[in-house]
Amino acid sequence: MSFNELRKGRVSQVGRIYHLTLVTQNRAPLFGNLQAGRKLVRELMRLQADGITETICYVIMPDHLHWLMELHAGSLGEAVKLLKGRTAHALGRATWQTNYHDHAIRQDEDLRKVARYIVANPLRAGLVEQIGDYPLWDAMWLNETLSG
């Protein structure tokens, strides 16, 4: 399966919210470097500025990205391809594994709960004791995500 294809039986839909996980090539801890992580954040925000996606929340771990987003234009595969290509260009190196994991959020799923789960990854991984100490995450509901 190429990086611009969804798993069998999946359909990419504009207006749908997805939880995506992208992993670095060979699980290299590229984003353990804060500058590299910030470049990835810029590319996430650029996709939003271009009207392709809307980022609901993300957390950039040293070797992978969790991204909760709404697709606004094109296909999910095209959005991921743009993010991967732009990030590789910004970092000046091959960055990502070819595939990615996608989960289309059902209407009955609580987005805030999903977002809290995503941004708590650094806590579960033992990288920090408080999420506020981790520099590479954000959520639409920043205060609610921290307190709720």
Burial (CB count within 10 angstroms: exposed 0-12, middle 13-18, buried 19+), residue 122: buried
Mean pLDDT of 105-125: 93
In a domain, 48, yes or no: yes
Q: How confident is the model at residue 16 (pLDDT cuts 50, 70, 90)?
A: very high
Q: What are phi and psi of 21, to 5 degrees?
A: -125, 120
Sorted by sequence, the CB contacts under 8 Å of residue 33 that are 6+ apart come out as none
**53-68 pLDDT, tens per residue?**
999 999 999 999 999 9
The predicted model gives 113-126 an average pLDDT of 95
11, part of any domain: no
Judge contact between 14 and 77, C-beta under 8 A. no
Range of the domain at 59: 17-147
Query: What CATH number is attached to the domain comprising 93?
Result: 3.30.70.1290
Judged by DSSP in three states, 62 sits in: coil
Judge whether 27 lies within some domain. yes
Summarize pLDDT for 86-106 with one digit per residue, the tens.
999 999 999 999 999 999 999
Whole-number average pLDDT of the chain = 90
Query: Is residue 63 in some structural domain?
Result: yes
The pTM score is 0.88
Residue 58 has phi, psi (to 5 degrees) of -155, 160
Task: Please count the structural domains in the chain.
Answer: 1
Tens digit of each residue's pLDDT (9 = 90 or more) over 32-49 = 999 999 999 999 999 999
Judge whether 5 lies within some domain.
Answer: no
